[in-house]
Chains A and B, each alone.
Chain A
Amino acid sequence: MIRFAWLVPALPLVAFFLIVFFGKRTPGKGAPIGIAAVFAAFVLSLLVLSHVAGGGEPVERSLPFFQAGRLELEVGTRVDGLAAVMMVVVTLVSLAVQVYSVGYMHGDRRYTWYFAALSLFTGSMLNLVVASNLFQLLVGWELVGICSYLLIGHWWEEKENSNAAIKAFITTKTGDVPFLFGIFVLWLAAGTANIGEITELVEHGEIAAGTLTVAALLLFGGAIGKSAQFPLHVWLPDAMAGPTPVSALIHAATMVAAGVYLAARLFAVFAASATALSFVGAIGVVTMLIAAVLALVQDDIKRVLAYSTVSQLAYMMAGLGLGEPGFTPSQFHLFTHAWFKALLFLAAGSVIHAVHTNDMRAMGGLRRQMPVTFWTFLVGSAALAGIFPLAGFWSKDEIIAAAWHSGHDLIFVGALATAALTALYMTRAVLLTFFGEYRGEAHPHESPRVMTWPLLLLAALSVGAGFLNASAFGVHTFAEWVHVGPEAHVEPFSWALAAVSLLAAGAGVAAGVALYGRYRERDPLRAAGPLYTFVERKYFLDDLYLKGIVRPTAYTVAAAVNWTNQYILDGLVNAAGWVARRVARLVDRLDRRVVDGAVNGVAFTTNVSGGLLRYIQTGNVQRYAVFLFVGVAVLAILITRVA
């Protein structure tokens, strides 16, 4: 079956071209093509997963791509449990999103193009997932970036949306550059860009530790950008400008997961460097906390979820920072998070579809009008908050337990605090949106079935997915699929730790109910005064980037360069031309007054030479050609003499 793994990315990519060229002329305007392709890819992914589930070596199949000197690249697929699980996640989330979009995007100006871009997005991500070498991975990596640009800016009539699209692309591109250099470092050190060969060389200690640290840190730069980690997380909240199903796709499967996946895919490189692991862990702890706090002060329901994604991805990063014990837990969290975050976004989209606003202050009481949306959103929130026995509980608990057992106190404390904050902001979001009285002016109604079915599917997964690795009941299926080394790593389950993490979540819920149980115009947290403002202004990071880097570069520095170009560099050229004209005129005058005056009889000569010299300023090309060849001849004679 693995022979056909290449079809998994290929199908959506082919669908992209089919939709672009024929979509508008086919029934369903292209959507059925994309849905059919991703469904087929999903089925194939399941078959691939079932094939690799038994463990064993990764299966690689590659073809030569090109050779340029020492650079020999192949293109192919490298499938192991990690890749297979990711393929399933990407295709299934994409499938749910595409089906949902049929309803959500109904009547959109660019309906067909939208589905084409979704297919390209999915195919690019899948290429990144299965890539057998780093350059092929890079292709997927950057294509994912441009797809996010296209979809975030889907409604480009509004400047705000295209600004968000550019911001997303440039911010992630800023991470992509170190990422690219990290690939260079590995390529040179290993003499190959093949992921399998690199992993093997690293595991055999063939690559110097210092080199690996540099490579890992550079590669992590890319992960920071794509997975929206501090300090490059600023693009993700703005990315909410895109259609909501796109947010679900970006946040669950196709974009932000790439960074975490990359660190796992090249885990050998990271694991070989204690410095790199500490750095990953530190970024994880910082990001999970600052993002969770930010989620607390948002009024836009999508922004709550966006910061929550940043925070949860940081959870996964912190997990990876634990080293080998954190590997499976972090990927398990990536897996469960995909379902409930996709669910939350699609449910939020359903709400927005009904009330035509993102602002939770204009919602409230929607549990009555939108029961399916309400219940599924509630399930997603509980899963995200880590409530027993939903999916998020199991995966989050594994990371907390791994941090505890491996003695990473900071990560342990940070993860617990984040768990409490997560429960708090999700409680706030649920209460503001679905409880109390409706405060808006629309006429809310439940969404059509094409939108609620995907919600129900994802809700089922959000409930059940955790049982794939429910260590409390001795289930380790996921760990057998996804692990480093020959044996699955099984974290001993501790009810005491689980109780602590549940306590943290419970405290968050309780605080949320206490603060937001009754709706208030003024957010109770505003009592924190300047601290609240500091958080509300996003720690002034956006201002720093915009006013400190982007605007000075785009306006001041650019204008200075342009000025230098026009008045200094080009000024020199024009000055040279001016001097040449002056000299010519001088010679001309000299010629007329001195030569002509002295040799009165040879007026003919004067005319010719004066005329010739005057031609220098006319730009007559034939004359130049004559001068050129005469000059060449003279020089040739001179050089012969010298030689």
Chain B
Amino acid sequence: MSGWEKSAVTLAVFLPAAGALAVALVPRHLDRLIRALGILSSGAALAVGVAILFGFDYGAGRELQFELNTRWIDAINARYHVGLDGISLPLFELTLLLSFLCLVYTWRFLPEPGRPKAFVALTLLLETGMAGTFVAFDLILFFIFWELVLVPMYFLIGIWGSANREYAAIKFFLYTLFGSVFMLLAFLGMFFKGPTPHTFDLLALQEFGAAGGFSRDLQMLLFAGVFLGFAIKVPMWPFHTWLPDAHTEAPTIGSVLLAGILLKMGTYGFVRIALPVLPDAARAWAPAIGVLAVIAIVYAALACLAQRDLKRLIAFSSVGHMGFVMLGIATLSDIGINAAIFGMVAHGIITGMLFFEVGSIYDRYHTRMIADIGGGMLQKIPWLAGLFAYTAIASLGLPGLAGFWGEVMALLSAYNPSGAVSEWTTLFRTLMVFGGIGTILTAGYFLWMLQRVNLGTVPDRWRDVPIPDVTRVELVAWAPLLVGILLLGVFPRAVLGVTNEAVEALVRVFGG
């Protein structure tokens, strides 16, 4: 294996951190240079990511590629083990893309109270944490990246957030930390009860778990631990209440990255760790997870109908969309997990885009309240409003756009769940019906939202207020997402062609 293949992933993960370091050394008055460094270092990471896309062997998506496995902390046998397979590649690339776009956006938009140096450095650090989470194949390494994400996000919300930012930031931090403690406990359990010599290596643990190495009772306990960690991050109902506050109060790019990437860390954790290492427990927990997932879908849609704050509405919609992802995972089936990963990528692009747009609407109207905007946006700022409608319609699952395949395949997998949970088929089919009702409600709240902000005539209070339409920087930062929404809709193979191999290998432990 060449040096490039060994180092590419590490390079992509740590280039942003290096950029953060560089930013830290630049005097704070060199505002433009700081922002340029942010774009450059995340752009360099993205370039490495694109190079990886060209080097990746898609026919061998089940195998770990660009792998590096080297000594790290010998005392606890933790290793620096990173790599990419068909499941992590799409999420890894999504992270690099969204982070880069956020930094491009920051070239022009920096929320109060400014301080570009801290803002850019924290965002870059966040990128390293997120990207690292998706490539780590050692539980300690995974945990460190996982926790690394918390700190910059805490500050992004706490310093650059809106009115209620401190409450939201602390809530976000403590709630997720609470979950991670149990997750860590479970990791330690895997370490001590796992194969000898004790190891944190994910591949070794997966092999051990698939062979039934962990007793069923222990699995149930360990699953409870990782479940809390991941379920809070997703977030699954009823652990979701940190999300509307955090998303609503966060600055625009904070919301974009929260919705676009951070939530996926939880669902990714289920797919990467919980299912393969603890297959018996996954089987036992699956019906409960399915039920919670569908509650989230319907509940979030109903809550969305009641929201008056545009950003909070979008935040709640994430809970519902992640419900579809979790429903797919709960079926333990090839279709369901493919649906889940597709859904994660699609939601990352679509909801990331929605938060960009809501941020831009707020920048212009200085209010996020639907009633205060009062309609007529299509008249006042036709391009921004038109893009907002396009993205919202993608989010409600229109075929031809990205939101469709993940949702439909998740429902399909609930109709035909894995043989491992076949005794629960009736339950899953019932869940499918409620999920279907959820899609109607979802269409309802999005169309209602569009009616209230986009349609109608411009209210008197805005008639003479000059409000600029989409700016060039916005368009540049958004264009890849807008194209991606269409591309994934008409060419879903762009994701499924990458994931399918790996997913089929993963579900083998559940008998397909």
Residues of A within 8 A of B (CB): 65-71, 135, 138-139, 142-143, 146, 149, 153, 156-157, 159, 162-163, 165-166, 169-170, 173-174, 177-178, 180-181, 184-185, 187-188, 553-555, 557-559, 561-562, 565, 569-570, 573, 577, 619, 621, 624-625, 628, 631-632, 635-636, 639-640, 643
Complexed CA–CA distance, A570 and B243 (Å): 11
User: In the assembled complex, which residues on chain A have CB atoms less than 8 Å from the CB atom of B173?
Assistant: 619, 621, 624
User: In the assembled complex, which residues on chain A have CB atoms less than 8 Å from the CB atom of B411?
Assistant: 180-181, 184
Most A C-beta atoms less than 10 A away, residue of B158, B334, B440, B497 = B440
User: In the assembled complex, which residues on chain A have CB atoms less than 8 Å from the CB atom of B393?
Assistant: 146
**Is the Cβ of A143 less than 8 Å from the Cβ of B398?**
yes
Most A C-beta atoms less than 10 A away, residue of B173, B378, B443 = B443
Complexed CA–CA distance, A630 and B398 (Å): 49
User: In the assembled complex, which residues on chain B have CB atoms less than 8 Å from the CB atom of A173?
Assistant: 439-440, 443
Knowing A156-B378, A643-B192, say if A177 contacts B306 (CB, 8 Å). no
**Is the Cβ of B399 less than 8 Å from the Cβ of A71?**
no
Knowing A68-B500, A170-B440, say if A181 contacts B415 (CB, 8 Å). yes
User: In the assembled complex, which residues on chain B have CB atoms less than 8 Å from the CB atom of A178?
Assistant: 436
Which one of B175, B307, B337, B496 lies within 8 Å of A67 (CB-CB)? Answer: B496
Knowing A554-B444, A619-B169, A621-B173, say if A157 contacts B415 (CB, 8 Å). no
Most B C-beta atoms less than 10 A away, residue of A157, A169, A625, A635 = A157
**Is the Cβ of A561 less than 8 Å from the Cβ of B443?**
no
User: In the assembled complex, which residues on chain A have CB atoms less than 8 Å from the CB atom of B193?
Assistant: 643
Residue on B nearest A149 in the bound complex, by CB:
B447
Can you list 22 contacts pairing A with B, beta carbon distance less than 8 Å? Answer: A65-B493, A66-B497, A67-B496, A69-B335, A69-B503, A138-B399, A142-B399, A142-B404, A149-B447, A156-B451, A156-B456, A157-B379, A162-B451, A162-B456, A177-B439, A184-B412, A184-B432, A187-B412, A554-B444, A558-B302, A565-B303, A639-B189
Knowing A142-B399, A149-B447, say if A184 contacts B496 (CB, 8 Å). no
Residues of B within 8 A of A (CB): 147, 150-151, 154-155, 158, 166, 169-171, 173-175, 177, 181, 184-185, 188-189, 192-193, 238, 240-242, 299, 302-307, 333-335, 337-339, 342, 378-379, 393, 398-400, 404, 408-409, 411-412, 415-416, 432-433, 436-437, 439-441, 443-444, 447-448, 451, 454-457, 492-493, 496-497, 499-500, 503-504, 507, 512
Complexed CA–CA distance, A570 and B303 (Å): 13
CB distance from B184 to the nearest CB of A (A): 6
User: In the assembled complex, which residues on chain A have CB atoms less than 8 Å from the CB atom of B192?
Assistant: 639-640, 643
User: In the assembled complex, which residues on chain B have CB atoms less than 8 Å from the CB atom of A156?
Assistant: 378, 451, 454-456
Residue on B nearest A571 in the bound complex, by CB:
B241
**Is the Cβ of B497 less than 8 Å from the Cβ of A624?**
no
CB distance from A132 to the nearest CB of B (A): 16
**Is the Cβ of B302 less than 8 Å from the Cβ of A553?**
yes
Knowing A66-B492, A66-B493, say if A562 contacts B307 (CB, 8 Å). yes
**Is the Cβ of B335 less than 8 Å from the Cβ of A71?**
yes
Q: How many cross-chain pairs have Cβ atoms below 8 Å apart between A and B?
A: 175
Knowing A69-B333, A553-B302, A639-B188, say if A143 contacts B399 (CB, 8 Å). yes
**Is the Cβ of B305 less than 8 Å from the Cβ of A632?**
no
Complexed CA–CA distance, A625 and B151 (Å): 9
**Is the Cβ of B306 less than 8 Å from the Cβ of A561?**
yes
Knowing A170-B447, A625-B151, A632-B184, say if A181 contacts B335 (CB, 8 Å). no
Knowing A156-B455, A570-B241, say if A71 contacts B398 (CB, 8 Å). no
Complexed CA–CA distance, A166 and B147 (Å): 44
CB distance from A183 to the nearest CB of B (A): 8
**Is the Cβ of B416 less than 8 Å from the Cβ of A188?**
yes
Most A C-beta atoms less than 10 A away, residue of B302, B497, B512 = B302
**Is the Cβ of B443 less than 8 Å from the Cβ of A170?**
yes
User: In the assembled complex, which residues on chain B have CB atoms less than 8 Å from the CB atom of A71?
Assistant: 335, 338, 409, 412
User: In the assembled complex, which residues on chain A have CB atoms less than 8 Å from the CB atom of B433?
Assistant: 181
Complexed CA–CA distance, A75 and B442 (Å): 28
Which one of B171, B338, B454 lies within 8 Å of A68 (CB-CB)? Answer: B338
Complexed CA–CA distance, A146 and B439 (Å): 14
Complexed CA–CA distance, A561 and B244 (Å): 14
User: In the assembled complex, which residues on chain A have CB atoms less than 8 Å from the CB atom of B238?
Assistant: 569
Which one of B147, B170, B456 lies within 8 Å of A157 (CB-CB)? Answer: B456
User: In the assembled complex, which residues on chain A have CB atoms less than 8 Å from the CB atom of B454?
Assistant: 156
Complexed CA–CA distance, A139 and B184 (Å): 44
Q: Nearest 4 A-B pairs (CB), nearest first?
A: A69-B334, A558-B305, A562-B306, A68-B338
**Is the Cβ of A66 less than 8 Å from the Cβ of B451?**
no
User: In the assembled complex, which residues on chain A have CB atoms less than 8 Å from the CB atom of B408?
Assistant: 135, 138, 180
**Is the Cβ of A177 less than 8 Å from the Cβ of B436?**
yes
**Is the Cβ of B398 less than 8 Å from the Cβ of A561?**
no
User: In the assembled complex, which residues on chain A have CB atoms less than 8 Å from the CB atom of B174?
Assistant: 577, 619, 624
User: In the assembled complex, which residues on chain B have CB atoms less than 8 Å from the CB atom of A558?
Assistant: 302-306
Which one of A555, A562, A573, A619 lies within 8 Å of B303 (CB-CB)? Answer: A562
CB distance from A270 to the nearest CB of B (A): 21
Residue on A nearest B193 in the bound complex, by CB:
A643
Sample of 13 more A-B contacts, CB < 8 Å, known A170-B440, A555-B305: A68-B499, A139-B404, A142-B399, A142-B404, A149-B447, A169-B447, A181-B436, A188-B416, A569-B241, A573-B241, A577-B171, A621-B173, A639-B192
User: In the assembled complex, which residues on chain A have CB atoms less than 8 Å from the CB atom of B493?
Assistant: 65-66
**Is the Cβ of B455 less than 8 Å from the Cβ of A157?**
yes
Complexed CA–CA distance, A628 and B497 (Å): 40
Knowing A156-B456, A621-B173, A624-B173, say if A69 contacts B504 (CB, 8 Å). yes
User: In the assembled complex, which residues on chain B have CB atoms less than 8 Å from the CB atom of A554?
Assistant: 305, 444, 448
CB distance from A581 to the nearest CB of B (A): 11
**Is the Cβ of B188 less than 8 Å from the Cβ of A636?**
yes
CB distance from A471 to the nearest CB of B (A): 41
Knowing A561-B303, A570-B241, say if A142 contacts B398 (CB, 8 Å). yes
Knowing A621-B151, A621-B154, A628-B177, say if A69 contacts B500 (CB, 8 Å). yes
Complexed CA–CA distance, A641 and B302 (Å): 49
CB distance from A89 to the nearest CB of B (A): 23
Which one of A162, A557, A559, A570 lies within 8 Å of B455 (CB-CB)? Answer: A162
Knowing A188-B415, A573-B171, say if A68 contacts B409 (CB, 8 Å). yes
Complexed CA–CA distance, A639 and B192 (Å): 8
CB distance from B447 to the nearest CB of A (A): 5
**Is the Cβ of A68 less than 8 Å from the Cβ of B432?**
no
User: In the assembled complex, which residues on chain A have CB atoms less than 8 Å from the CB atom of B299?
Assistant: 561, 565
User: In the assembled complex, which residues on chain B have CB atoms less than 8 Å from the CB atom of A138?
Assistant: 399, 408
Complexed CA–CA distance, A187 and B151 (Å): 47
Most B C-beta atoms less than 10 A away, residue of A68, A163, A619 = A68
User: In the assembled complex, which residues on chain A have CB atoms less than 8 Å from the CB atom of B492?
Assistant: 65-66
**Is the Cβ of B457 less than 8 Å from the Cβ of A157?**
yes
User: In the assembled complex, which residues on chain A have CB atoms less than 8 Å from the CB atom of B379?
Assistant: 157
**Is the Cβ of B496 less than 8 Å from the Cβ of A66?**
yes
Complexed CA–CA distance, A573 and B307 (Å): 20
User: In the assembled complex, which residues on chain B have CB atoms less than 8 Å from the CB atom of A565?
Assistant: 241, 299, 303
